[in-house]
Amino acid sequence: MSELFLDEPSVLKVNLLGHPVLRKRAEPVTLEELKDPRFKLFIESMVETMREYNGAGLAAPQVGVSRQVAVIEAQENPRFPGKDNIPLTVLINPEITAFSPDVEEGWEGCLSVRELWGRVKRATGITLKALSMDGKEITVKAEGFQAVVFQHEIDHLYGKLFIDRMEGFETLSFTQEYRRYWQED
């Protein structure tokens, strides 16, 4: 994490659509980086940043670190009313190994595509492998909202944004109108 030297967990700047780091494929985290105490501080800072802006997830490139790391959490999140809670999850070098054949279309937003929402089709279930904080390989299965958020965050690690997954821009909506006309639940 040579890009970041933090003394304590901090709220980080979130890069917006147009920043080149959002379009780069992120590098895997090395085992040495995993052991670096600054890495833990960086993860804590990602969690703080996600909570500060009511994100359901945050990927490292969004805060300018081109590494394969994402944090995910949803607890009665006001940006996603009525959605299932997701326990705090840290994904390091995640790789989706299986997608369910079923897809469902739903609304997505992104802290890097601020104020815009659009409808995206995603697999309703996925299986992924990733590394835990102590460097062990873990397998995670996810369904529903959790599967959608995982797919959205892992896309960030490949330089992809939800708008790239939209089949057309007819549903693209500013937050104000999205909340007024389209938000479900």
In contact, 143 and 125? CB cutoff 8 Å: yes
- 34 vs 171, beta carbon nearer Ni ion: 171
Task: Name the minimum Å distance from CB 98 to Ni ion.
Answer: 22
Calpha distance 87→58 (Å, rounded) = 14
Pairing of β 69-74 and β 137-143: unpaired
Task: Name the minimum Å distance from CB 2 to Ni ion.
Answer: 24
Calpha distance 147→91 (Å, rounded) = 13
Q: Which two tokens stand for residue 31?
A: 């085992």
Q: Which residue is nearest to Ni ion (CB)?
A: 110
Q: Is 48 a catalytic residue?
A: no
Which of 110, 123, 147, 148 binds Ni ion (CB under 5 A)? It is 110
Place of tokens 């104000």: 176
* Contact flags string 57-96 toward Ni ion, x per CB under 5 A: ----------------------------------------
Q: Which two tokens stand for residue 1?
A: 């994490």
Task: Name the minimum Å distance from CB 17 to Ni ion.
Answer: 10
In contact, 174 and 115? CB cutoff 8 Å: yes
- 15 vs 124, beta carbon nearer Ni ion: 15
Decide: is 14 part of the binding site for Ni ion (CB under 5 A): no
Q: What residue ranges bind Ni ion (CB under 5 A)?
A: 110
